[in-house]
């Protein structure tokens, strides 16, 4: 399992280098999970 060891969203340099990629990946997994859960529920 992956763990986020370092998270500094306020740091612009960190955000452009690493943080944005992690945030988008997490967002896409969350959206996919919600769509799947709603389709199973319906």
Q: What confidence tens digit (pLDDT) does each residue in 1-42 have?
A: 778 888 888 889 988 998 888 889 999 999 999 999 999 988
- Per-residue DSSP letters for 1-42? --------TT-HHHIIIIIHHHHHHHHHHHHHHHHHHHHHH-
Other beta carbons less than 10 A from residue 19's beta carbon: 19
pLDDT of residue 8: 86
**pTM score over 0.75:** no
Res 40: pLDDT: 94
């Amino acid at each position: 399992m992956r763990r986020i060891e370092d998270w500094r969203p306020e740091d612009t340099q960190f955000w452009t280098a690493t943080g944005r990629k992690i945030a988008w990946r997490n967002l896409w997994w969350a959206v996919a999970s919600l769509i799947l859960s709603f389709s199973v529920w319906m």
